[in-house]
Amino acid sequence: MSLFIGVQKILASTASSSSTISSTSSEITEPTTEKLNAFQRWWNSLDWTELTGTIISKTLTVLALTILFAVLIRLADYFINRSFRVNKKKKQNEVRVKTMNTLAKNVSHYTLGFFYIYSLLSSLGVPVGSLLAGAGIAGLAIGLGAQGFMNDVINGFFIIIEQQFNVGDYIQLTDIELEGTVISVGLRTLQLQSADGTVHFIPNRNITTISNTSRFDMRVLVNVRVNPSEGIEGIQQAIERANQKIVDNYSEYIQTPPVIFGIVDLGNSNFAIQTTMYVKNGQQGKLQEELLSTSIQELTKDGYSIPSSPINV
Give DSSP secondary structure letters for 254-268: EEEEEEEEEEEEEET
Domain count, the chain: 3
Measured CA distances, 239 to 33, 166, 295, 298 (Å)? 113, 37, 5, 7
pLDDT of 161: 76
Residues 174 and 111 in one domain: no
Residue 36 resides in a domain: no
Residues 223 and 179 in one domain: no
0.75 surpassed by pTM: no
Domain residues for the domain of 286 are 218-301
CB 123 within 8 A of CB 64: no
DSSP string computed for 162-200: HT---TT-EEEETTTTEEEEEEEE-SSEEEEE-TTSPEE
pLDDT of 142: 58
Residues 229 and 285 in one domain: yes
pLDDT of 135: 60
Residue 30 resides in a domain: no
Residues 171 and 230 in one domain: no
Residues 205 and 178 in one domain: yes
pLDDT of 229: 83
CB 169 within 8 A of CB 182: yes
CATH number reported for the structural domain that contains residue 136 in this entry: 1.10.287.1260
Query: Would you write out the chain's pLDDT as a tens digit for each of its 313 residues?
Result: 554 455 455 545 554 555 554 555 555 555 555 556 766 776 677 677 777 877 888 888 888 888 988 898 889 888 888 877 765 555 555 656 766 777 778 778 888 888 888 888 877 777 766 666 656 655 655 565 567 777 888 888 788 777 788 778 888 888 888 888 888 887 788 889 888 888 999 888 888 888 887 777 788 888 888 888 888 888 888 889 988 888 888 888 888 888 888 888 887 778 888 898 988 877 788 888 888 888 888 888 888 888 776 544 4
Residue 5 resides in a domain: no
Rounded Cα distance between 228 and 313, Å, is 9
CATH number reported for the structural domain that contains residue 176 in this entry: 2.30.30.60
